[in-house]
Structure 1
Amino acid sequence: MSHYDTSLLNEALNDSTMNLDALKIVNIMKKAKVNKVHSYVVTSPKDISSRWQTYIKSEDGKRKKISAMSEDALYDKLYEHYFFTVKALQDLYPQWLEKRRHETISSRTIIRNQQHWRKYYENTSFVAIPLAKIAPNDIENFLYSCINKHPMSYKTLNNMRFIVKDMLKFAYRKGLIKDNPFNDAEVKTSACIPEVHKNDSSRVYNKIEVDKLFNAISVELSVLPQNTDAYAILILFKLGLRIGEVSALKFSDIDYINKEIHIHRMETLDLGTDGKQHPIVVNHTKKRSPYGDRYLPIGEYELKIFEKVKVINIQHGYKDDDFIFCDSDGRTQTNEIDKRLRKLCRKAKIEVKSAHDIRRTVASEMHKNGIPLEMIRQYLGHSTIETTIGYIYNNNTKDENRRLIQNALSSLNRTS
């Protein structure tokens, strides 16, 4: 039963005057609604080999004959023609986008969906194909044409084809199609361009870079002691938090007795009514993962930083709820911490790296110092070990790598 059958049936079941079988009620109501708008005569079969038939106006305004084996089947077609407004992906897109907004999806992901729709889907013949007529071959041809027109990596292909995949799944669940053609579509990804992977040195801070960066932070604080952004960066290097997590920390998260801090909220971006993204704090971590809600041990070093920041806040009147990192404008936002970090990297004359690279550095240092992978996973708030492994890099300098390799292979040295 399709979605419009269901709607009619609900009307019928709520009508206390109806005593007929529910499906008969649906057909009666369909026929009544069609007859109010249908101006052509419906002709019954002349013999057993004939069909029920009538005419409709096609999109070009011309008369078009339609037929069916039964009266009910003909009225099904007429009802779909007059009242079934979602006929293609381009018609379904606004509803699908609204569904996405009501799901636990970040506004950043939704904006990416919109960008991909405009770039790959909008105004193409594919999105105008009637939903019921989309075949696996249509999907394959469309995706191959996108790959040829817009050379893309496998990751980009996965992101852009998610739209048609999820829209057809949505259409199937709404009863708009009987089968999901995406399930039988196959696209070979050999035509995708290879991913450009950064080398380890670009993904983490090595010891020399950390030392230079910390020196730059010391100089910054000697000139601008009220700059709490710099202290937030120092906390990132100790706790390995996501940048959105550190900007959402509150003093109430600190357990001074057990010496631990509760990580359970983050800054994210919310799509406002103006169509722009605005930073907000939410009471959950990335993707609402239960693994992100965690308690991390803290020592005297971290406690001293938090106490120092508290004193600065009081002295300079920085306050926004109970947030730890604030300035004269209120809570320090992630973009402010990110800008400060990049500025400090340039001052330290090292490669500019992100706050997430600090997170990878923490994971790599923990692994290098013998911390089990499961402990690192819990510390970072990952849901799987596989994700954590992707955060572990070789953050040694070239000289360190050379020394380690030479020492490891020294037993294989042979003299002549």
Structure 2
Amino acid sequence: MSGINYYYTFPCNSHANAFMINSTGVLESTEEMKKTEILEKYGDVIKHYRTGEDSYYYFRIPDKTIKGGAFRRKKKSREQIEDALYKYYLAKEKEEKESSSKDKTTFEQLFYEFMEHKKEKVSAGTIRRMMIDWKKYYNTKQDFIHKPYKEITPIDIDDFLNGIVNTTEIKDKAFCNMCGILKQTFNYAVSARYISGNENPYRVEVNKKKIIPTRKKPSEEEVYNAEETQKLITEMKRRLQDNPANTSLLAIMLEFELGTRRGEILAVKDSDIANGEIHIHRQIVDVYDVSDLNNAKLKGYKAVEYTKSDAGDRYIPLTHKAMQYIKQIRQINSETGEYYQDFLFVQDGYLINPNKLYNIIKDACKRCINIPVKGTHRIRKTVISTLINNGVPISTASELAGHVDERTTIKNYLFDTDKEKEKKVSILKALGDTTISSESEIETVTNRDKNIILFPINKKAGNPYNKRISH
């Protein structure tokens, strides 16, 4: 029988309708059953009030905002009040069900809800960095992120944070960023009225001695000394002779005169330069597609009409060298016909990728001039350090750097641009040491100096008489 197909046919008459399900009737029947259930459960709260000609039915609805803690829902007939009671408790049950479901929402689910909200307010780059921290520090703690967020206690927060501090060599900045995810997610829950401020479990109580402090790196790693600067600029000039249309090389040379961020210098327009100054108020940023939070994709880069902070909008005076570099760039653009919306640095009709500057410097340092690789940000630190070391007030240097706070300049951008030998000589001179104690000073001694007879100094004069004179 398995190979036989059976077909049933029905006559096109009223009897066929008997086999059709009346969905409307089923719905109405279900609603009536639910109404009966609610009335059986809550019907006794209905009261009848009569005085003289005034008569109505009512039930009380709790409301802490009014005197007495409740108000009366009134209707003229019993049928009307029962219908109102049914609708009220039906809505209340639905609300409680949704609330119960929300109570079971895990911290991970809350985080992703928060991130969907946050990505409408901040840059895609910020979202990408937060997702990197999430995957690194939170995805490995499945018990914590899968716990309903309303059940997370301050002790749970302590255990989570201390678990990270005790098992990873985390630096203070990374720890701060990692904690930011916890803090912002629970603050979102408060703002969304999911929990009250008093119910927010976030706090930071860890053994801070186990967090690695950010120590200032040695100057030789953070800035170019005079010799390294000269070598790099000479190499850029040599490359420019081989490739006269490459304005990226001039961008690197110009950086040594301005100290801007690499995204800022490549976003400069010709119209930003006037009266011996350059107006920095724009930057190039990476563009990411974060529609899939777990898989941010780099789409490209673009110029935006803002800088890293409000303090980034600034005017920088141009040195003679800077003016010469700009003149050369303009001439190259004129000869090659490069143009894109008045931007100074253009290649093949497009903005220059900021990563290109670093790649040029990296190649030059490693392959040609044999110095440690230091990128464009090290050029920025070199310029700012040079300004301060040559007597420019820190407040002025901070303003030229586009920093909001002078402490940022002092903590992260102030280094010694001298070589180690020069540094030691400066220290000894400052301490009043007049002896020749460094190789650099010995190297500067002339032949005439060698003929000078040196006598001991700082030796206490002795008594020329061996015997005491008595009178």
Q: Could you tell me how far apart the structure 1 residues matched to 2:325 and 2:61 are?
A: 74
TM-score by length of 1: 0.78
Selected match of 1:201 from 211, 220, 225: 220
Q: Deviations over 1:343-369 (max 9, x none)?
A: 222322111101111111011111111
Aligned to 2:297: 276
- The two structures, once aligned, show a CA RMSD in angstroms of 2.6
Aligned to 1:399: 421
CA pair 408-127 structure 1, distance change in 2 beyond 3 A: same
Aligned to 2:115: 97
Q: Could you tell me how far apart the structure 2 residues matched to 1:300 and 1:79 are?
A: 69
Q: Which runs of 5+ in 2 are unaligned?
A: 1-59, 64-70, 74-84, 436-456, 460-471
| Displacement after TM superposition at 1:148 (Å) | 2.9
The answer to whether the Cα contact below 8 Å between 1:238 and 1:362 also exists between their aligned partners in 2 is yes
What SS is found at the alignment partner of 1:125?
helix
Query: Identity of paired residues, percent?
Result: 29
Q: Write the mapping of 1:100-249 to structure 2, written as runs, cut at 5 A.
A: 100-104=118-122, 106-122=123-139, 124-178=142-196, 179-195=198-214, 197-249=216-268
CA pair 131-400 structure 1, distance change in 2 beyond 3 A: same
Q: Could you tell me how far apart the structure 2 residues matched to 1:29 and 1:395 are?
A: 78
The answer to whether the Cα contact below 8 Å between 1:131 and 1:176 also exists between their aligned partners in 2 is no
TM-score by length of 2: 0.69
Q: Does structure 1 residue 371 correspond to structure 2 residue 392?
A: yes
Which one-letter code corresponds to 1:344 in the other structure?
A
What SS is found at the alignment partner of 2:316?
strand
| Displacement after TM superposition at 1:34 (Å) | 5.7
CA pair 177-314 structure 1, distance change in 2 beyond 3 A: same
Which one-letter code corresponds to 1:115 in the other structure?
I
The answer to whether the Cα contact below 8 Å between 2:190 and 2:200 also exists between their aligned partners in 1 is no
Q: Could you tell me how far apart the structure 2 residues matched to 1:146 and 1:112 are?
A: 18
CA pair 130-29 structure 1, distance change in 2 beyond 3 A: farther
Which one-letter code corresponds to 2:187 in the other structure?
K
Q: Which has the higher contact order (CA 8 A, sep 6+)?
A: 1
CA pair 148-329 structure 1, distance change in 2 beyond 3 A: farther
| Displacement after TM superposition at 1:120 (Å) | 2.0
How many equivalent pairs are there? Answer: 352
Q: Could you tell me how far apart the structure 2 residues matched to 1:331 and 1:103 are?
A: 26
Q: Does structure 1 residue 312 correspond to structure 2 residue 332?
A: yes
Aligned to 2:51: none
Q: Could you tell me how far apart the structure 2 residues matched to 1:139 and 1:28 are?
A: 43
Q: Could you tell me how far apart the structure 1 residues matched to 2:202 and 2:157 are?
A: 10
Q: Deviations over 1:29-52 (max 9, x none)?
A: 6731365x7xxxxxxxxxxxxxxx
Q: Could you tell me how far apart the structure 2 residues matched to 1:403 and 1:254 are?
A: 41
Q: Could you tell me how far apart the structure 1 residues matched to 2:245 and 2:173 are?
A: 43
Aligned to 1:55: none
CA pair 339-411 structure 1, distance change in 2 beyond 3 A: closer
Q: Which runs of 5+ in 1 are unaligned?
A: 1-19, 38-75
| Displacement after TM superposition at 1:173 (Å) | 1.1
| Displacement after TM superposition at 1:119 (Å) | 2.3
Aligned to 1:31: 89
